[in-house]
Amino acid sequence: MIALTAKTIKKTLVLAALALSSVTSVSAFAAAQPKPCKILVLGDSLSAAYGLPVEQGWVALMEKRLAEKFPHCSVVNASVSGETTAGGKTRLPDLLKKHQPSHMILQLGANDGLRGLSLEAMKDNLNGMLVMARRAEAQALLVGMQIPPNYGPTYTRQFAQTFADLARKQKVPFVPFLLDGFAQDPSAFQADGIHPAAQVQPVMLNNVWRHFEGTLK
């Protein structure tokens, strides 16, 4: 057997302590880093910046805000102009599999309402997408919409209520109305009178942000 001198033992203990300190420092550093997040935005023309340069849309503006406040987050904008809840439900499984988002902003239903489609079917589709997100371990946020009163008071009221009921049922954060603050102002819309103009895109972002920011902390 080789006898260890006091000097050798001391050197061994010092090296062991340095190694342990290094491992502890690396672990502490890793623990301090925020978990990367990926946000999937599933919407229609309102989120696809229809009629505008993409960088002026509220989703692109959200990316800029995230870069400042939550730089570990990235955004996948899977919004398609004209999309209905049925179309979104069909596309979502592949989107979840491909992007594996940690968060999902669900902004669909406006085209269902404008086309006078079944509210029961819309509700089932939205509910199905929220369930898919939960199973994929993605924190969902539901964005509500309202439609013009010319569709009749009953349909108009039930349309808006559908979103609130679903958010309550699925216990997800909820934006009551994406166009809140300017929906009655004709100057806030493009020439078609339907799609928001560039100057109100920050308002749309703020309407979403106040309910979404908390899910990132």
Tell me the per-residue pLDDT of 128-186, one tens digit each, with 9 for 90 and over: 999 999 999 999 999 999 998 888 999 999 999 999 999 999 999 999 999 999 999 99
Helix H or strand E encompassing 194: none
Residue with tokens 């349909």: 155
**If DSSP codes are grouped into helix, strand and coil, which group holds residue 54?**
helix
Helix H or strand E encompassing 95: helix 85-99
Would you tell me the crossing angle of helices 85-99 and 119-135 to the nearest 10 degrees?
A: 10
Mean pLDDT over 76-87 rounds to 98
Residues in the chain: 217
pLDDT band at 28 (very low <50, low <70, confident <90, very high): very low
Residue 36: per-residue pLDDT: 86
Mean pLDDT over 12-33 rounds to 48
Average confidence score pLDDT of the chain: 90
pLDDT band at 1 (very low <50, low <70, confident <90, very high): very low
Residue 12: per-residue pLDDT: 54
Q: What is the pTM of this model?
A: 0.85
Residue 217: per-residue pLDDT: 83
Q: Which residues pair with 42 in a beta bridge?
A: 106
Return d(Cα 32, Cα 48) in angstroms, integer.
35
Residue 144: per-residue pLDDT: 98
181 phi and psi, to 5 degrees? 105, -15
Q: How far is CA 138 from the centre of its chain?
A: 9
The DSSP-derived string for 103-124 is: EEEEE--HHHHHTT--HHHHHH
Residue 56: per-residue pLDDT: 98
Q: With contact defined as beta carbons under 8 Å apart, do 173 and 103 qualify?
A: no
Tell me the per-residue pLDDT of 95-133, one tens digit each, with 9 for 90 and over: 999 999 999 999 999 999 999 999 999 999 999 999 999
* Sheet order of strands, 73-77 included: 73-77, 37-43, 103-107, 139-143, 174-175
109 phi and psi, to 5 degrees? 130, -25
Q: Which residues contact 192 (CB under 8 A, 6 or more apart)?
A: 51
HSE, CB side, 13 Å, CA atoms: give it for residue 197.
12
Which are the catalytic amino acids?
A: 45, 192, 195
**If DSSP codes are grouped into helix, strand and coil, which group holds residue 68?**
helix
Residue 174 or 23, more confident: 174
